[in-house]
Amino acid sequence: MRVKLIFLYSLFTIQIWAQNTEIGKCATDFIESEMRNNDPELDQKFQKQDAFHRNAALSNTQSSKTSATILTVPIVVHVMYGDKTDNISMDQILDAIDVINLDFRRQNEDKINTRAIFQGVATDMEIEFKLARLDPSGNCTDGVNRVQTNLSIDANDNVKPLSHWDNKKYLNIWVVRNILLPNQPSGTVLGYAYRPNPGQSYKRDGVVIRHDMMGRIGTAEGIGRTLTHEVGHYLGLQHPFDNGCFGGDNCTDTPPVASASSGCNLNRNSCSNDSPDLPDQIENYMDYADDVCTNMFTQQQKNIMRGNLNNNRTRGYLISGSNPTNTGIVNGQVLPCRPEVKYSTNSNLICEGESVQFTDRSLHGNPVSYNWSFPGGQPSSSTAKNPTVVYNTKGSYDMSLTVTNANGLTAITEYSVISVRPTGVPVWLNGFSEGFEQWNIANNNWHVESDVDSIDFFTTQKTGFNSAKSAKLNNFDITNKRTVNLITNSIDLTNSKSVRLRFDYAYTSKNNPSSVDMLKIYTSTDCGKTWAIKRNIGGSTLITAPTTNNRFAPNSNAQWKSGDYSIFGANFAPSIMFKFEFIANGSGNNLYLDNIKVATTIGLEEQGLGLSSINIYPNPTAGEFNIELDVVEQDVFNVNILDLNGRQINAVIRNEKLTVGQHKLESNLNGSLAKGVYLIKINNSKGSKIEKLIIQ
């Protein structure tokens, strides 16, 4: 269990066994100690369970680091909210589950930070987690229950009777506003969990966690590893520092630790009684180092957790027999339910004459019939599962969908869901790069929104990362809570299989490190009408330099950090914008952004255009060139030249209907292009293709 102790604006962590007046960063030890003291019989059960864990840790039956059966645990999340501010979204819940799946499967991007000395014991747990799709009565569910209760304000096990599912079938997670344990010493509890014990009831089982510790988006702060830590407890893990240098967590591949770690001290070696004498494994999710420094479980921790999941007296009931089917988590499982209508589009914002691909995403029971309605579109209705609709006239358009199966039907109508712009193209194509060396913020590439008079982002010529320029926000002058946004122009990612956002940033606070601002990253596919949160960057992750009461300007590259994030849901988007939202609390210092880049993996087969081949020659060329297309499906082909930033150059090569057969298109540019690298964009009604052209 994780705890943040706030005292005189500083963060302290104090062990329960060292001083019984404070809870440290996690209070699972405190809860377990209370249980043992109050129930000697339970104490004996814990001793037997610890012996089981010691044997499991050293067992050869689970020693393989790969290729074991993936064990999948069904989850139910009970959102026990005080009011709408802590009634977290489904997206935030899914993000939290994504974090624990990445961490348990060792697919977390920061696994490369595991020090070489521990790389040999760090491993994939081969354990995954899924929201349940069937409730205990066999009814369809999204795996989330929501209960409004004032108990959320000072929650503990008291919220569990209000909403719980059979703990022999589901991992119950209760999300609350604040946690206050009975007989709790001082300290702010962020979450807690019960280790497995035969016969435990739901009241002494599951995970209780604060809403702002769930995931990385929405109300969450940081990178969401409180849940990773607590689920580790739920599956049997202890802290590596339990009982100091001569105690431990029943694992010999986690070096002994005298006391809980804090911060990110790679030089810490608090115990020397191990042979060989290894440093403290602060990378371990079960220690107390900052989330940004934790990145691994060990092989023996895997043995313990999988040992519990393979033992029907502890957690084995979650994965054994018919439970995966009964909870609806089996891949491809057909659920006996009325379908819940849902759909998606490849874009909600298009130009005149473009098409929208509607895709059925209905949940639960499989639909057997579809009834779509598209006023203003061609066709105006459809019974296909995934229809394509063309919109020829600018405006906003509604749609409706009814899905049916033997168990019933559901319907949805959405208004102004498709926005059609006058014919035009986004400014950028399949990528975006801005180092602020040639352009000022005020140009067409950027848009700034600010609720602070005369304070917004601008291009500074005094400092940058590996350069003299960057985007600067004079946050030093903001004295109360304000928001300033830096927004890109539209970017066409039609051909992008994957998308990453990379940028460098520099920031510090004034001399009040407990009060830090927040940088949030959003995307929009409807020209800024709605925004989807993608990342929160705050706390120690945002700070890149020592705090100062003077106006901050980074004086070296060492005072910058780099962000590199996968942007899910942006691939193949024909028009998308990125927003950097800076939320100032009034006590922070200046912020700098530089080298912002949308990096993409581009790929679309020629066959998708009705072509068997594309040949550009000569390439490189001194100026003129030919494009040879082998057309297998007649269509109107548009061929244009773009610069590397995706901006269209006024040099249209061809825009005409091509019949089946080979066609040779001549450039006829008459030397109008300067030397350099360009992009040839070929598109028709079926899609687009990008090829590189070099003029030398």
Give me the percent of the chain exceeding a pLDDT of 70. Answer: 86
Q: How much is the pLDDT for 281?
A: 96
Check: CB of residue 289 under 8 Å from CB of residue 300.
no
DSSP summary character for residue 540: H
Question: What mean pLDDT, rounded, does the chain reach?
Answer: 83
Residue 139's alpha-carbon distances to 143, 147, 163, 361, in angstroms, are 11, 19, 16, 19
Cβ atoms within 10 Å of 571's Cβ, excluding its own: 17
Domains in the chain: boundaries: 3-326, 345-421, 428-602, 606-695
Confidence (pLDDT) at 690: 75
Is pLDDT of 5 > 50?
A: no
Rounded Cα distance, 560 and 543, in Å: 9
Same fold for the pair 345-421 and 606-695: yes
| H or E segment and range at residue 556 | none
- Whole-angstrom Cα distance, residue 599 to residue 565? 10
Candidates 211, 229, 232; CA nearest to 81 is 211
pLDDT above 80 for 474: yes
pLDDT of 415: 83
Of 482, 593, 476, the C-alpha closest to 544 is 593
3-326 placed in CATH 2.40.340.10: no
Residue 166 has, within 13 A of its CA and on its CB side, a CA count of 13
Query: Does the pLDDT at position 306 exceed 70?
Result: yes
Highest mean pLDDT among 25-39, 70-84, 458-472: 70-84
pLDDT at 427 over 70: no
Antiparallel, parallel or unpaired: β 369-373 and 354-360 = unpaired
Reply yes or no on whether the pLDDT at 407 is more than 90: no
Which pLDDT does position 476 carry in this prediction?
86
Encode pLDDT of 243-282 as tens digits.
889 888 889 999 999 988 888 999 999 999 998 999 999 9
The phi, psi pair for 6, rounded to 5°, reads -110, 125
pLDDT score recorded for residue 478: 80
Residue 230 annotated in active site: yes
Contact by Cβ (8 Å): 678, 649: yes
Angstrom distances, CA of residue 172 to CA of 135, 148, 481: 12, 17, 36
Lowest pLDDT segment from 115-124, 559-568, 599-608: 599-608
Torsion angles phi and psi, residue 498, rounded to 5: -145, 155
Task: Please determine, for residue 604, whether its predicted confidence score (pLDDT) is greater than 50.
Answer: no
User: Following CA atoms 436, 437, 439, 440 in sequence, which dihedral angle do they give, to the nearest 10 degrees?
Assistant: 60
- Report the chain's terminal Cα–Cα distance, integer Å: 63
Q: Where are the beta strands (DSSP E) in 326-387?
A: 343-345, 349-351, 354-360, 369-373, 381-382
Q: Between these two residues, 487 and 465, which has the higher pLDDT value?
A: 465
Residue pLDDT, tens place only, 145-166 = 999 999 999 999 999 999 999 9
- Per-residue model confidence (pLDDT) at position 199: 85
Lowest mean pLDDT among 67-81, 263-277, 502-516: 502-516
Q: In what order do the strands lie in the sheet with 349-351?
A: 349-351, 408-421, 395-405, 369-373, 381-382
* Mean pLDDT of all residues in 218-236: 89
Cα separations in angstroms, 613 against 85, 607, 608, 645, 656: 55, 8, 11, 25, 18
Q: Whole-angstrom Cα distance, residue 168 to residue 316?
A: 9
Reported as half-sphere exposure (CB side, CA atoms, 13 A), residue 629 has a value of 30
**What pLDDT, on a 0 to 100 scale, did the predictor assign at position 611?**
80
Of 60-74, 524-538, 667-681, least confident by mean pLDDT is 60-74
C-alpha 541/C-alpha 354 separation (Å) is 42
Cα–Cα dist 560/136, whole Å: 51
Are 693 and 622 spatial neighbours (Cβ–Cβ below 8 Å)? no
Given a cut of 90, whether residue 25 has pLDDT beyond it is no
Average pLDDT over residues 464-486: 86
Residue 421: what pLDDT? Answer: 59
What is the Cα–Cα distance from 476 to 452, expressed in whole angstroms? Answer: 12
pLDDT of residue 390: 95
Mean pLDDT, residues 58-69? 62
Q: Above 60 in pLDDT, residue 136?
A: yes
**Structure confidence by residue, pLDDT tens digits, 76-103:** 999 999 988 889 988 889 889 999 999 9
pLDDT of residue 166: 97
Q: What residues contact residue 276 under an 8 Å CB cut-off, 6+ apart?
A: none
The domain 345-421 having CATH identifier 1.10.274.10: the answer here is no
Predicted confidence band at 570 (pLDDT cuts at 50, 70, 90)? confident
Please state which of the four CATH numbers 3.40.47.10, 2.60.120.200, 3.40.50.2020, 3.40.50.300 is assigned to the domain occupying 428-602: 2.60.120.200
Type of residue found at 696? Q
Average pLDDT over residues 217-232: 87
Full DSSP string of 72-133: EEEEEEEEEESSGGGS--HHHHHHHHHHHHHHHTT--GGGGGS-HHHHTTB----EEEEE-S
| DSSP character at residue 415 | E
Span 597-621, average pLDDT: 72
- What are 643-686's pLDDT values in tens digits? 765 667 765 567 888 888 888 888 877 777 888 777 788 888 87
Q: What is the pLDDT of residues 313-362, one digit of tens each?
A: 899 999 999 999 999 999 878 788 888 898 888 776 666 788 999 988 88
Whether the predicted pLDDT of 66 surpasses 80: no
Catalytic member of 230, 283, 434, 581: 230
Fold of 606-695: Immunoglobulin-like (2.60.40)
pTM beyond 0.75: the answer is no
